[in-house]
Amino acid sequence: MAGRKPEPAFSTLRYAVDDRIATITLDRPERLNAINDAMPGEIRAAVERANADDAVHLIVLQGAGKAFCAGYDLKDYAEGEHPANQPLPWDPLRDYRFMKQNTEDFMSLWRSHKPTIAKVHGYAAAGGSDIALCCDLVLMADDAQIGYMPARVWGCPTTAMWVYRLGPMLAKRMLFTGDLIDGRTAAAIGLALEAVPAKELDACVARWADRIAGVPINQLMMQKMMINQAVDAMGLENTQRLATLFDGITRHSPEGRWFQRYAQEHGFAAAVEWRDSGRPLPELKPGDDGSAFMAAPKAGARSQWSSKQRKPGKA
């Protein structure tokens, strides 16, 4: 049609519409749909495309392959110079601009005029949990895993959605530990709307999506705007601003720099194993580069927690 804008081409996701429902599929299965530089903006573009389509009443966000999203792709974000991983002295505002843009892109799911559902299987870990928790509803496989492991070192969830989903005590329980929890637990504490066996997840999402998609768009939009306004009044924007600043600090603090050096020397799998195992992490004074903690881990140096948690190895 003359004068119509071409539809955006996507490199990290697929977009499809069927009977009032738009489906956005994160499509980097070889990396467990880990977040690269292109993905946040493409999520936003896909959401905007769905919002501009009068035939669409609801958006479902899912992941291709074995996981929803296993977090930021450490291959891209932790190797070499990057706004999220600068050499010292680092520029906090450069870091903030980059991470705030990603946060705003993820929040397009929350601010979408049309309801959004996260369909979570495998992992919604670290940055992947940010994406899932920006959706209005979270539906999970009961064996799926969700959590923000970098809360232990090298991260702060920039969307800050944990507290708005769970309240202060349970948000602290998740972020003081960095634990992954399964879908059953997520549903029990109100983080997920429902958790079902993995083989039933498609049917569960379809049931909720069909029920919601039958409502007129204007009704859905008004209900969502009213509820989101209540969350905005609780200070969501200011909390996200603080969280995004803190995220940059965690990656450039003495402990954050040590974690990066340890990962470069021993591999990210070893660094993540230490971070997530429950073993005490180094606490370094300013100027201490953590050289005393650079030795390879001893065999069997795992805590009781490591055997209870599965880890995707992304940040």
Question: What pLDDT, in 10s, does the model give residues 67-125?
Answer: 999 999 986 665 555 667 778 788 999 999 999 999 999 999 999 999 999 999 999 99
pLDDT above 70: residue 223:
yes
> Which has more confidence, 81 or 245?
245
Does residue 220 fall inside a structural domain? yes
Contact yes or no for 60/23 (Cβ under 8 A): yes
Q: Whole-model pTM?
A: 0.92
pLDDT above 90: residue 160:
yes
pLDDT above 50: residue 310:
no
Does residue 211 fall inside a structural domain? yes
- Give residue 307's pLDDT: 39
Give the chain's domain count: 1
Does residue 6 fall inside a structural domain? no
- Is residue 292 very low, low, confident or very high in pLDDT (cuts 50, 70, 90)? very high
Instruction: Over range 274-286, report the average pLDDT.
Output: 94
pLDDT above 50: residue 305:
no
Instruction: Over range 130-151, report the average pLDDT.
Output: 98
- Give residue 74's pLDDT: 80
Question: What pLDDT, in 10s, does the model give residues 25-79?
Answer: 999 999 999 999 999 999 999 999 999 999 999 999 999 999 999 999 986 665 5
- Average confidence score pLDDT of the chain: 91
- Is residue 306 very low, low, confident or very high in pLDDT (cuts 50, 70, 90)? very low
Residue 55 in 3-state DSSP?
coil
Give CB contacts under 8 A, 24+ apart, made by 95-99: 95/248, 95/251, 95/252, 96/244, 96/245, 96/248, 99/158, 99/244, 99/247, 99/248
Does residue 311 fall inside a structural domain? no
DSSP letters of 180-198?
EEEHHHHHHTTSSSEEE-G
Does residue 60 fall inside a structural domain? yes
What's the CA angle centered on 289, arms 284 and 285, to 5 degrees? 25
Does residue 263 fall inside a structural domain? no
Domain range enclosing 114:
13-248
Contact yes or no for 58/209 (Cβ under 8 A): yes
Does residue 82 fall inside a structural domain? yes
- Give residue 302's pLDDT: 52
Does residue 53 fall inside a structural domain? yes
- Is residue 287 very low, low, confident or very high in pLDDT (cuts 50, 70, 90)? confident
In this structure, what CATH number is given to the domain that contains residue 141? 3.90.226.10
The strand pairing partners of 116, in sequence order, are 59
